[in-house]
Each structure stands twice: as structure tokens, then as C-alpha cells.
Structure 1
Amino acid sequence: MAQGRAASRRGERVPAAAMPVARVVVDVPLPHLDRPFDYQVPTDLDEVAVPGVRVRVRFAGQLVDGYLLERAESTEYGRGLAFLEKVVSPEPVLAPEVVELARAVADRYAGTLIDVLRMAVPPRHARAEAAEPPPPSPPPERPADTGWGRYRHGANFLDALAAGRAPRAVWQALPAEDWPARLAEVAATVASTGKGVLVVVPDHRDLARLHEACARLVDPAAVTVLAAELGPQERYKRWLAVRRGSVRIALGARGAALAPVNDLGLVVVWDDGDDLHAEPRMPYPNVRDVLVQRSHLGGAAFLVGGFARTAEAQLLVDSGWAHEVVADRDELRAAAPRVVAVGDGDWQEAKDPAARSARLPSIAFEAARAALSAGAPVLIQVPRRGYVPALACGQCRAAARCRRCAGPLALPGGGGDGAPRPAYCRWCGATEAAFRCPSCGSRRLRGQVIGARRTAEELGRAFSGVVVRTSGGDDVLAKVPGGPALVVATPGAEPVADGGYGAALLLDGWALLGRADLRAAEEAVRRWMGAAALVRRGDRGGRIVVVAESSLAPVQALVRWDPVWHAGQELAARAELGFPPAVRMATLDASPDALAVLLEELRLPERGEVLGPVPLGEERERALVRVPRGDGRALSASLSDVLSVRSARKETEPVRVKVDPLEVL
């Protein structure tokens, strides 16, 4: 020790007496460097260099950030080790279980550990870190009365949570269900045992409703919301409160899936089919799969809930990994609104001139008029925002294209004087005043899909004197009053109405069902049921009118309110066609030359196959790689190896790899 102090006075750094080796993951996002590196711990940093802290190290001649994962007595590195340059903060921000989870997520999605850790740990804020943490709140009382008795096995699920067990369930919420209250009851039940809870929802509107529901059941100091909109200091302060165990219930959107909740007893994801649950940054993990992995590794209970059901959630049930929590048909019939499907034919509109001017089938027009007469608001779901975002030939229905650049033609909104405006190109902006269809020669144009703004204008003329509100794009409403009004919203932007909507009109169903997407039918059912769930119960006069062909399976699922049946159909169809989640699949996007090299070097399992490549435009191609589910880990490992080789060769050609992405087609 005396020799160490003497060396320190001479400016020399000497290793710590005990556990002198620090294993550090450096913040260098290169696949071939995705491993811990060993450094020496100097005596002056011995006390603060504990596992989980942020450090600064010299790597390849530069100072870089990193995280200290563990201390060790020795190293297998054959040469002398460099010293840690600095411990940025003595606050341990990485718990061992979070490191284990981050490693598992990185391996599953063919990513790197540091990429996942960037999502798990927010940027440091010194002032928030220096603040004294609040004392933890005492465990709340278990809720005495809950709404889970309406569901088969619902009460048993809560009893298992209260007993400290780790059940796993897929919950099918009833129509018009107060889902924030149900999730708050589950969270309070687990918190009453002294364990932590993590609930992830799609967006800030859902967060606000859920936080309000939780604050009614438990001490508000025991609940925190983790959201990027809070700002760096407040976000880091709340994250530290979760890390230090000051709060038991953490609520958040996608970024909270890796939050370091102490003694985690339950993880919950609501509406797992929402694309907001898919991380847009590498390695592109999905919240549902991250929480499934977290439940498996940490032994926490798991709950995925929604009004609809995804094929992935159905697979959890079919495999026996999770159990269903659903209501009996009698309970469902009592809660569900009346649903009617009508086709999009002209004969539907000819019965009523007002309905024709509002672009509504007469049944939908009558449902809206009845709800408004009863003093209730009416929800109109339109698949597109804007005015007329896509035009087609009025005779042959071929897509209307610009003569200059072949871009899609659209119709802008009317001017302040009410005069119509000519069509324009959405790509080059040129006005097209003399359209002629190249297929049939017709000069007539029609809307492929009428946007929310145009729909609002037409409805305002048809229902004179009625307030018309729009929600979508950059102006999304969270709530609307309960009086008579027309609320025109795009899918996912439907506001909650006080007392519920009297009716919901789901327009242009073909636009949702006709998308060139593997999940088009599943997404249509999810969007429709999300809107329909905001409508009053059937015994209170709630009505749904969906403008789509009634014989289609997604429409039947809505009419019968049977998302479980539809999810089973989807899963069976994907298994037959060989698409996720029945198989594991990856998309590889790159230039033709880079993609050819990538596929040549990729070592697939014996039953793996490559589909494509197909052009994506702008000198890019996409290939699909498909393997059986049991070979998913081998696929991810092979992709990681190929990316590591490219990184070591310092190839700069951009390549994007996504494992089990939402957009396969």
C-alpha cells in the first residue's frame, strides 16, 4: 500500500490490490467489437469502480464511454492492460439482470450489446443524480373489488399474482372495457406483495389514462411515468427513482421496456400489435418479445392485453407458454355494441340524398343521425388524413399518375372562397388541370380514399348545425365532450368520449384490407376493434357500421366480436405460407452487390432458405431469409457473424438487417 501511494505521488498509476481487472463494454457500435474488454483498475478509482457504473476508457487511441460490467482477479489478455481513465459517476446504472436481458435481446435480433444498452440507460444528468432519492412508499393494499370477475380465469390470475407466483396470460378485453382500470388493478395487486411492476403502452395518451387509473388505487408517489417528452433532467430523475427502488410501478411507452425495476414481479404490454411498439433503432426489437424474454429470464409474471389479438399472442397461447383470460360469450354479447357491415356499392347511397352528399351508406347515415338525436357523439374512422390523398380514373379506377414524373395525383383542400382546386402531383408538386387516363381516355377523376379533412367537410354539410371535430396527424385529440358531435379521426387517433360514442362509422374498409402487407387483415381488425371499443354497450344503443364486404374474415371477426377466432385463422394461414410468427424470418436490405456478398457468406441452418432478392428502388434490393422457429437462434447468430466480418473488413456499404420485422411484404 505504501509503495502504491509513493507511485501515485510520482504520477504513476498502480493496479488495485484486489480485483484489479475491470471488464468494460465500450460505446463503439461495431459488430466485430461486440464483447467486453479488460482494463486495469487504478488504486484511486478502486472504491468507485463498481459493476454498473459509467466509465471513460482509452480505446484505439481515443477516449470513449463505456460501462463497467464486472471486476475480476485476472485476465486472459496476453499483454499489459490499459487503466480506466475515469469513473464518470459512482452511480451504478446497470443492474446485472438488465445486462443479461440486453445481451439476450441483442442476440435475438442480431444486434450489439451497446446498441441495446443505449435504449436501456438514458443520458446522465448530474443535477438529477445528485438529488436525494425519495423513500420508497409502503406496499399498497390489494384492491378489494375488481372487474376481472367478468373474465374466465380472471380472478384466478389475480389470486396467483397476490400469492407471489408468476402466471403468464393473454387477456382479451371486452368491448367498452375500462382497460386502464383493469391494468391498474393488476399492478396494485402485484405492488401489494412488495414486488415491482412494469407496464408498457403504445403512446402518451394511453400513458395519461393509465397513470390516472393507477393513482386512484395506490399512492401516487409509488407510480412513475417514463416518457421521452419529460425532458432530460426529469426523465433521468424518474428513471433513477425506479433504479433505486423508490417507486414500485413504472409506466412507459416503448423506451421503458428495459427499465430497471427492482424485484420485478410483473411485466405488461397493452395492444401489442401497435407498430409504436417496434423500435425504429438498431437492432429493431419489439416490446412484446422483449418482455417475453424478460419474463422468461427473470421469472416475472407476464400479461399481454388488447381488444384484438395478434398472431404472435395466439402463438403464446397455442404453445402453452401463456393462458387465455377471456370472457364467456354471454358476457360478451351483453357488452358488445351492435355491428353491421355494408358494402361500398352505389345502391346503398341512392336511398337518401343527404347520405349521398356525405359519402355514407344510408345505414351508416341513419345510425349517425340516431346517435346525435340521443345526445351522443359519433365517431367516423377514415383510413387517411388530409383531403383527397389519392386519385383514380373515374371510369376504369386505374391509379391517376402525373404526366411528368408518374407520381400519384391528389386533390388539395378547397380555398377560402370555397372554389375547387385542381389536382396536383404529390411527388413533384405540378398541377394537373387536364387529366386524361392513359388506359381508357376518361377525363374524370375520383378519390381512391377520401381523407379526414374532406370527410369532415362533407359531413358538416350533411349534418348542418352539428359540431365536427377532426383528430389525426399533428393534431390528435385525447378526449372529447359527451354531447352531440361528429368526430372524424384517422386509425389510432380516435379520442375517448365522455360516456362513450353513440355510434362509430368505419369508412373505406377496403383501404385497410387492401394494403400490400402481411399484417393487413390483422391490422384492420385491430384498428376497427380499437375504435369500436370506444362505443357504448349494445344495451345502451351503441352501434357500429363498417363499410366493407361482410363475407371477409376480418369483417366477420368484428361483426361477431371474435378476435380469438381471427388470430387463430391468421396464425394457421401464416404457418401454411411460411411467414412469421410460424417461422423466423429476417429481411436484408442493401445494394445489389453488397447483398450478393452477404448472402454468399451467410451460413444458414439446414432447413433455411432465401427468398428474392427483389428491388426496393434507388439501387437497393431486399432478400428474405426464412428458417423454422427452432432454428431462430442459429439464424441470428449467423447474421451476427456475417455483420461482424463486414465490420472487421471496414466495409462502408450500408446494410440493414431486421429479424422478425413488422413489414415483411
Structure 2
Amino acid sequence: MTGPQTPPLWDLPKAKRAAGRPAAARKGQQRPAERDPIARIVVDVPLAHLDRTFDYQVPAQLDEAAVPGCRVRVRFAGQLVDGFLLERAATTGHTGRLAFLERVVSSEPVLGPSLASLARTVAERYGGTLIDVLRLAIPPRHAKAEAEPAGPPAPAPPVPATTGWGRYQRGTAFLDALRGQRQAHAVWQALPGEDWPSRLAEAAATVASGGRGAVLVVPDQRDLVRLHAACARLAGEGAVVALSADVGPAERYRRWLAVARGLSRIVVGTRAAMFAPVADPGLFVVWDDGDDLHVDPHMPYPQVRDVLTLRAHAERASLVVAGYARTAEAQLLVESGWAHAVIASWDELRRAAPRVTPVGEDFDVARDEAARAARLPAVAFEAARQALSAGAPVLVQVPRRGYVPALACARCRTPAHCRRCAGPLALSGGAGRPPSCRWCGAPDGGFRCVACGSTRLRAMVVGSQRTAEELGRAFPGVPVRTSGAREVLATVPGKPALVVCTPGAEPVAEGGYGAALLLDGWALLGRQDLRAAEETLRRWLAAAALVRPSAAGGRVVVGAEAGLTPVQALVRWDPAWHAERELAERAGLAFPPAVRMASVEGTPGAVAALLEELVLPDSGELLGPVPVGRADEEGRTERERMLIRVPRSDGRALATALATAQAQRVARKEADPVRIQLDPLEII
């Protein structure tokens, strides 16, 4: 007969399990560390009312491993949670008994003092929490990459030649300031056709040659590849680190550690690189700051330009806001005197810019039937034909992707909607296919207009696929390539071809494009958006900058009325003038960036409850509420949005008030969440 079996440890009662552990592991018998036994921890708990540090005791056996900035595990509200150790202290203000750290996940100090200070500043600016910002700033840990031995720091690169900056007023003076390690802020307007990755690489290498670091942030992967190659040519591969999500979690963490350990001085990357913990930073750069990819879609929705401005101010480093266009926010930096404009002279601009020709919506179509089939005005068709005959590619920018993304009644122009869900009807293929709903996907072969009863449809907007099909018929024998959401081309050869793309997906052509056709400008300018004009000009300039100079036959044809302000700015190639007008108009209307504005979105009851508790500064002004999204069957709005506006001087007070009100709601465990966003891109 066998004796009684000992049950597994996890089947024993809690008291017996504790008795079965080694004596040193029992919490009641742990000894605190002799030196600085208090650890101040930021717990990874996404609750607004817990946005503070909590004190824990450091056990003696973890004294050496628990270094400031490391990752730890602690017991919080009965559960084991992750956290970051901010600092060690000798005393605590807590009057009760303190729990011990459970364990140190890694002794790697990933949260340095400067990064912790930046994260707190960003959280306060946007009304968020510290842990929300730290999730964006510090990538997830990868143990294998962390255990790899660190190599030696990259040597400082030599001082590069910076003759390219001599084409710009104040360009040479700005590089001299970087070389002398003096703080300088610039809003750089790049010339059309400029090799902007080389210019930014020269600035970064100049700073790195003096032993300081540089962080350069671009909107997308295509720009990152170009900028990384330019920096590597000047500073060497080991001195440059590219940070982006495309490299995978292990490689991304490996590169991030190289930056945090001070092995690389130059960091290039996409949005998340704005938090890169480069040692002794001397330069921060954001390229094309108006691109919406520079706004993080996660709480608290920080914007790259604003974060780098905060870093430059706190760390006494230089800042460059660069691009072909200029945003109203960048213009505000110039008008406030905080930054200087670095622009080229009119003579340099005339030598570099292509010729721009606007054509209105009611243009005369060429008599050629091919031009009529391609919906091209005579001047655009002739510009494309001349560029192709000269052996150059032609860029065609179309605002919408797809085939025919919007349909309307051919008789009365009433938008066509699905009979099942009231969604918009569209054509997703060639002739012979019935229209289908863009929301539910149901085909609708028996369309009948609800306004006039007509059964005929017309295209409201023609997409990139349909445009490519029409251009292929208009220019037989010429290759037609598309660049858009499914496949974005980085480069195209300098041979005759028609390159049809959506805004933001323009590939770089070898030797430049012979012509650019910017079609359907009304579709961009007619959007119900505060930034519609600014965004349209930015997209036009990005495409037109890829065209050869007018002396080499470069032509740009834009499909919009010549009298419109964005069209005039494109014709004159004067985005600074447009930004100045835009900022003045927004200041007169009390719109951002002349003021700080917050968006509060949620169910009507949740928004009303938050506003009742919100303690606004005296200058606060409420706008709304307005419905967001569709209503239910009874006409009730499921979600609504309220806008709150204050002067810029009260922006911090507004963020604090919103964070406090949100923390109170979370503490009461309110069921309906409220989305709070400061300085939103879309307010209309």
C-alpha cells in the first residue's frame, strides 16, 4: 500500500503554499535594501486617476538589479503588473506598510531622466497620462536582443561640406550655428527639385561631428529609406540608426538600445522616433510637418512637430521644421520670433521651379478625341504629349483611389445611395459591372433616383484606376503605372511613361518628371475641413517639386481656378505667403493654431457629465455639441462632439482641467468612455 500523496503546490491553501516556499522568499521575512530602500514606480495601469508614482520597498536581494529606469514587476491591487522604476529614495511619505518589488524584469535603464521628463511634459500638454506616453516612447522588450553584447560607440564623422545650403538665405548662418554648437531654430522651405535628404544629412552630420546627437523624423518608409541612405553616406553606417515599425520588434528594440546606450549619434525614423533617447541631442528635424502621419493615433495623440519643439526647448537643441510647403503652425513659430525662415532668393526659385498653368473646372477639351476620352484640357494634353516626346515620364495626381468612388444621378446630380443601408454607391471595376455600396458591398443593378426617377448614373469623382484606363487609351503604346494604397512605388525610371498616383504616393523619377497633371483640384479644395486649402497646397507642391525646372521644359497643369489662393501660391511658388494669410485668417476666426482647442467626443450623456465637472479657465469657450456619425432609426445621435476653445496662454490650464475631469470619471468607473484630444487635426 502506498502512503498518502502530497498534493501539487497549486492545490494547497494559501497559508500552506507560503510555508512551502523558501524562507527568504516569504514577504514577511524580506529585508529592505540598506541603501535607498524606496523605489518610486510608474505602474502600467491605463487609468487616469492613477497617473502618479507609487512607493515600494526594494528587497536586499534586488538592491543591485533595481536601478533607476529599469523595468519591474509589482503587485498592484492584488495583481502583478509591469512598471518602470523612476528613482530610488531613502524615505517615503506613505504612512502605511509598503509592499516589496516582486522582481526586476531587466536591469537595462530604458527610462532615463530626460525621457521621463519629456514624457511627463507631453502628457501634461495633451491632457494624457504618463504611462500612455511611455507606451509610445519605449518599445516592448525583447530579451534576446537585450542580452547581446554592446559594440563600441561609432566614431564622430568628419565635418561635411555644406555648399548646398548656400542657395538659401540664412542657410550658411544656420549651418555655422550648428557647427559652433549654438542653439538655432529654422523653418526651411526646400526648393523644387531639391535633394532634401542630402541637405538634412549635412545638418545631422555637422552636429554629430561635434559629438552631439540628432533626431530626424519623416512621415513614411519611402522618405526614411532616402534619408537613411543620405546620412549613411556622410556619417557611416554605424553612426546612423533607422527606427520604424517595419523592421520587426526584435530589430527595432535592438536599434533602440543602440541609441539609448549612446552607440549611435544620428537617429532617423518615422513617427515614434520623436521620442528616441539620443545622448546629448543637438538637432531635431521634422520633414513635411503637415502630413497627418505625424500625429500618433493613440492616446494622448501627440504631434511630431510639437514634441520636437518641446524637446528642443528643454534640451537647448536646434530645431528644423522642413518641407516644400509651410503650415500655419510653422508660420506661427516664425512670426513669434522663435524660429527664422530659411528660404531661397527669387532668382534661385525661378531657376529651380517648373512652369505652372492653372485651368478652371469648365475648361475647353482638346479637339483630339483621345484628349476628350481622357478628360484632359487642351493644355494638359499638350504638356503630357511634349514631355513624353522628349523622353520624360509624366506624373498624374488623382485625389481619389479606386475606379469611380462616387456616383450621382445623371439628370439631377443627386448623390446615389444604397437602397439597403443608404451608403454611397460606387463602381469598383470596368464597364458592365453594376454599382455596389461602399458600406455594405451589396450590388445595385436597378438604380432609380429618389429625386427625379432617372435610372442613369454619372461619375461624381473619377478614381486613379479609371484615370489610368482612360490615359492608356489616350496615349496608346505608352506604359501606364499606378502608385497608390495597394502598391506605392518609390522610384520610376526616367523613360516615357504615365505615372498615375494618389496624393502622397508620388514616386521619384530619375532626372525628374517632364510634366505633372494635378487633376480634379475641386475634390481637394472642396473638402469640409479647416485645413483643406493648406493640405491641398501641400500635396500639390509635393508633386510639382518632382518636375524638372521650366528651363528644361518642366510643366505643371493644375485643374483649379486661377483666382483661388492655393492656386496662386502654387503658381508663384510662395507657400510662405499662403501660410501667412492662413494664419491671419485663423487668428481672426479664433481657430488653431492661434488658439488651443480640445475635442470631447462620446455619447451625449457622457459628454454632458464630463462638462459639468470640468473647471475651465475664465477664457474658456464651448462650441457645440454637434452629432458625430450616423443617427439610429429613431433619429437619435449615438455620439456627439463638443469643442472647447481657449487662448494659447491658457492651453496648459485647459489640458489640466480635462485630465482632472477624466480622472474623476474613471475613478467612478463610468460606463461610457469619452475621447479627449487636444489640437485635433479635424474640427469641422
| TM-score normalised over the length of structure 1 | 0.97
Offset at residue 11 of structure 1 (A):
7.8
Question: Secondary structure at 1:363's aligned position in 2?
Answer: helix
> Hey, what does 2:643 align to over in structure 1?
624
- Displacement of 1:10: 10
Say if 2:44 is the partner of 1:32.
Answer: no
- CA-to-partner distance for each residue in 1:527-554, whole Å, 9 max, x for gaps? 0000111111121111100001111001
Counterpart of 2:677 in structure 1 is: 658
Question: Structure 2: how far apart are the matches of 1:341 and 1:193?
Answer: 48
| Structure 1 match to 2:668 | 649
In structure 2, what residue type is equivalent to 1:649? R
Are residue 397 (structure 1) and residue 397 (structure 2) matched?
no
Match of 1:92 in 2: 109
Equivalent position of 1:200 in the other structure: 217
Please say if residues 8 and 14 of structure 1, whose CA atoms lie closer than 8 Å, have aligned partners that are also in contact: no
Give the residue type in structure 1 aligned to 2:641.
R
Query: What SS does the aligned partner of 2:358 have?
Result: strand
Aligned to 1:413: 429
CA contact (8 A) 1:437 1:443 kept: yes
Question: Which aligned pairs between 1:588-627 and structure 2 lie closer than 5 A?
Answer: 588-618=600-630, 619-627=638-646
Letter in 2 for 1:114: I
Q: Distance in 2 between matches of 1:617 and 1:344?
A: 31
Q: Secondary structure at the match of 2:127?
A: coil
Q: CA separation in 2, counterparts of 1:451 and 1:600?
A: 46
Which of the numbers 28, 47, 50 marks the counterpart of 2:64? 47
The AA in structure 2 aligned to 1:385 is: R
Alignment of structure 1 residues 329-368 onto 2, 5 Å: 329-345=346-362, 347-368=363-384
CA displacement at 1:83 relative to structure 2: 0.6
Q: Pick the aligned partner of 2:36 from 13, 16, 19.
A: 19
Shift of 1:634: 0.3
Matches within 5 A, 1:183-194: 183-194=200-211
C-alpha change, 1:8 and 1:463, in structure 2 (3 Å) is: closer
Partners of 1:264 and 1:145 in 2: CA distance: 20
CA gap 1:9/1:634 in 2 versus in 1, 3 angstroms: closer
Give the secondary-structure state (helix, strand or coil) at the position aligned to 1:617.
Answer: strand
User: Which amino acid in 2 is paired with 1:521?
Assistant: A
TM-score by length of 2: 0.94
User: Is residue 550 of structure 1 aligned with residue 562 of structure 2?
Assistant: yes
Taking the aligned partners of 1:242 and 1:559, their CA distance within structure 2 comes to 43
TM-fit CA distance, 1:446 = 1.8
Partners in 1 of 2:442 and 2:111 — Cα distance? 54
Matched, 1:383 2:399: yes
Q: How far, CA to CA, are the matches of 2:549 and 2:460 in structure 1?
A: 33
Aligned residues: 656
Instruction: Pick which of 398-407 and 48-57 moved more.
Output: 398-407
Task: Say whether the 8 Å CA contact 2:628–2:640 is kept in structure 1.
Answer: yes
Distance apart, 1:428 and its partner CA: 2.9
Which residue in the other structure is 1:524 paired with?
536
In 1, distance between residues paired with 2:411 and 2:533? 28
Contact 1:469 1:488 in 2 (8 A): yes
Say whether the 8 Å CA contact 2:161–2:202 is kept in structure 1: no
Residue 256 (1) aligns with residue 301 (2): no
Q: Displacement of 1:265 after TM fit?
A: 0.7
Q: Taking structure 1 as reference, are residues 39 and 480 closer, same or farther at Cα in structure 2, changes over 3 Å only? A: same
Superposed CA offset, 1:250-309 (max 9, x none):
110001110100111111000000000000000100011100011111111100100000
Give the secondary structure class of the aligned counterpart of 1:369.
Answer: helix
Residue by residue over 1:143-196, the C-alpha shift from the partner in whole angstroms, topping out at 9 and shown as x without a partner, is 124310000000000000000111011000011111101101111110110100
Asked whether the 8 Å contact 1:501–1:542 carries over to 2, the reply is: yes
Q: Which whole-Å CA distance do the structure 1 matches of 2:521 and 2:482 have between them? A: 19
Whole-Å separation in 2 of the counterparts to 1:383 and 1:87: 52
Deviation (angstroms), 1:518 = 0.8
Work out whether residues 471 and 489 of structure 1, in 8 Å CA contact, stay in contact via their aligned partners in 2.
yes
TM-superposed deviation, 1:350: 4.7
After TM superposition, give the deviation of residue 403 of structure 1 in Å: 3.0
Q: Could you tell me how far apart the structure 2 residues matched to 1:432 and 1:131 are?
A: 60
State the secondary structure of the residue aligned to 2:622: strand
- Give ranges in structure 2 of 5+ residues lacking alignment: 1-21, 631-637
User: Which deviates more from structure 2 when the two are superposed, residues 568-577 or residues 441-450?
Assistant: 441-450
CA distance in 2, matches of 1:397, 1:545: 27
- Render the CA deviation track for 1:124-146: whole Å, top value 9, x for unaligned: 11111111112112111111243
Rounded Cα–Cα distance in structure 2 between residues aligned with 1:385 and 1:10: 62
Structure 1 residues 19 and 179, CA gap change in structure 2 (3 angstroms)? same
Q: Residues of 2 paired with 1:255 and 1:164: CA distance?
A: 26
- 1:175 paired with 2:192, answer yes
Tell me the CA shift for residue 439 of structure 1. Answer: 3.1
Q: 2:464 aligns with which of 437, 443, 452?
A: 452
What is the match of residue 310 of structure 2? 293
Report the counterpart of residue 387 of structure 2 in structure 1: 371
CA distance in 1, matches of 2:301, 2:23: 51
Counterpart of 1:538 in structure 2: which amino acid? S
Deviation of 1:422 (Å)? 2.2
- CA contact under 8 A between 1:344 and 1:361: conserved in structure 2? no
Percentage of identical aligned residues: 68
Cα deviation 1:34-59 (Å, max 9, x = unaligned): 00000011111111111100000110
Task: Name the CA distance, whole Å, in 2 between partners of 1:442 and 1:6.
Answer: 86
Query: What one-letter code is carried by the residue in structure 2 that aligns with 1:629?
Result: R
Cα distance in 2 for partners of 1:19, 1:324 equals 50
Shift of 1:90: 1.0
CA distance in 1, matches of 2:536, 2:335: 23
Cα deviation, 1:85-126, whole Å, max 9, x if unaligned, reads 111111100110000000000011110000100111111111
2:83 aligned partner = 66
Unaligned stretches of 5+ in structure 1? none
